[in-house]
Homo-oligomer: A and B are copies of this chain.
């Protein structure tokens, strides 16, 4: 695989534009009644036309057999090796609720949990308390005072919350307090590196005070923290590709991931058409657009095969608006598979199509898992998509003399 340093050397600015349309959780598994996947069941005349004009394939988001979280899945699509650039769980929670992390902040994922009279954990999720109760308890915890630092405790969903500590000389090299099992007491946070001692002490002080605050709030009478992390150091897409990249997404997680790699963010209201309208409005301000369509993934996670089919059809029917812009390079793919039958992210490879004046069309006439097996892109790693898109946009010089 070509390195980021090498890409920097050969990338050039040009007037061409790349659009990367990410249909979240695109890949599926066949419905036992019809033997067709969600994408194969959907009526997608425009995607099929693009498949016929362009070149298709199947991507492994991270590595064969590996089910990616949203972080690694998206980083790979943006051209970053997900084994080299990793996003901590705390940071991901912050991105997910749109919390603006500062460079020196340390974030962690929090769970409200239940402990018994002896302090042993009996339920790591506090009976999945409602998000309302979570919000109320978070505002209590946020009032805890720790010397020299500022605290943020924000509800995520049900028993989940975000913990952020802001101050000087903080380190994320702190061990989890969440033992990830019941019947034991929560761990103390400890410094994984000498310079993290102060942060570990602060965390332990916070947890001790939180326990007092929550004493009468059974089942949410304790907290567990894990995934202490800081914003990762990631070279921006402008640095690597000399692009002016923009993201069009609704959900905080994806906006956050796009922001991490230096994209300008545009909000949408859950409708692909709105996103494409914004793209059209801003078409001359950027030369790389990432558009994120979420509904297919949510339907897959809910196990709703036909809602996923409809979500894909909705994307398809919005495409003419996009094609009218005649982007020089159009890539359509997903960040991972979310088969409705599997009700979650999976490891199955994801269909991809790439259309440009300079692609070498294959004989694939249909955008589907089965058809993409025979596509001219073959089976490729997601991290190779950006170099391919850049090449098709004539934005990469020759490598080596």
Against B, the Cβ 8 Å flags (1 = close, 0 = not) of A373-401 are: 11111111000101111111000111111
Q: Decide if B398 touches A63 in the complex (CB within 8 Å).
A: no
**Chain B contacts of A375 at CB under 8 A?**
373
**Chain B contacts of A376 at CB under 8 A?**
58, 349, 369-370, 373
Q: Decide if B88 touches A401 in the complex (CB within 8 Å).
A: yes
The distance in angstroms between the C-alpha atoms of A30 and B55, with both chains bound, is 13
Q: Decide if A388 touches B64 in the complex (CB within 8 Å).
A: yes
Residue of B nearest to A339 (CB): B360
CB distance from A255 to the nearest CB of B (A): 16
The distance in angstroms between the C-alpha atoms of A369 and B359, with both chains bound, is 13
The distance in angstroms between the C-alpha atoms of A82 and B3, with both chains bound, is 12
Of residues 342 through 375 on chain A, the ones whose CB sits less than 8 Å from some CB of chain B are: 342, 345-349, 358, 360-363, 369-370, 373-375
Residue of B nearest to A341 (CB): B358
**Count class of interface residues, chain A:** 35 or more
Q: Decide if A92 touches B388 in the complex (CB within 8 Å).
A: no
Q: Decide if A401 touches B87 in the complex (CB within 8 Å).
A: yes
CB distance from A12 to the nearest CB of B (A): 11
The distance in angstroms between the C-alpha atoms of A289 and B123, with both chains bound, is 36
Q: Decide if A92 touches B387 in the complex (CB within 8 Å).
A: no
Q: Decide if A227 touches B401 in the complex (CB within 8 Å).
A: yes
Against B, the Cβ 8 Å flags (1 = close, 0 = not) of A58-101 are: 10001111111111100000000011001111001100000000
Q: Decide if B401 touches A65 in the complex (CB within 8 Å).
A: no
Of residues 8 through 23 on chain A, the ones whose CB sits less than 8 Å from some CB of chain B are: 10
The distance in angstroms between the C-alpha atoms of A363 and B397, with both chains bound, is 36
Judged by a CB distance under 8 angstroms, whether A29 is at the interface is yes
Partner of A68, one of B92, B387, B399: B399
**Chain B contacts of A82 at CB under 8 A?**
399-400
The distance in angstroms between the C-alpha atoms of A355 and B248, with both chains bound, is 39
CB distance from A176 to the nearest CB of B (A): 13
Q: Decide if A400 touches B2 in the complex (CB within 8 Å).
A: no
Residue of B nearest to A73 (CB): B400
**Chain B contacts of A390 at CB under 8 A?**
65
Partner of A348, one of B64, B72, B360: B360
CB distance from A84 to the nearest CB of B (A): 11
The distance in angstroms between the C-alpha atoms of A71 and B401, with both chains bound, is 6
Q: Decide if A86 touches B400 in the complex (CB within 8 Å).
A: yes
Q: Decide if A67 touches B401 in the complex (CB within 8 Å).
A: no
**Chain B contacts of A70 at CB under 8 A?**
401
Q: Decide if A67 touches B347 in the complex (CB within 8 Å).
A: no
**Chain B contacts of A30 at CB under 8 A?**
360-361
**Chain B contacts of A136 at CB under 8 A?**
none
A87-B401, A401-B87 in contact; A65/B373 too (CB < 8 A)? no
CB distance from A284 to the nearest CB of B (A): 25
CB distance from A205 to the nearest CB of B (A): 26
New A-B pairs, 11, CB < 8 Å, besides A3-B83, A64-B387, A72-B399 = A2-B83, A6-B83, A65-B386, A66-B391, A86-B400, A89-B401, A92-B401, A93-B401, A346-B358, A363-B370, A378-B379
17 A–B contacts from the bound complex (CB under 8 Å): A62-B399, A64-B377, A64-B388, A65-B388, A65-B392, A66-B396, A66-B399, A67-B396, A71-B400, A72-B399, A82-B400, A109-B401, A339-B360, A347-B387, A349-B376, A363-B373, A373-B378
Chain A residues in the interface with B (C-beta under 8 A):
1-3, 6, 10, 27, 29-30, 37, 58, 62-72, 82-83, 86-89, 92-93, 109, 227, 339, 342, 345-349, 358, 360-363, 369-370, 373-380, 384, 386-392, 396-401
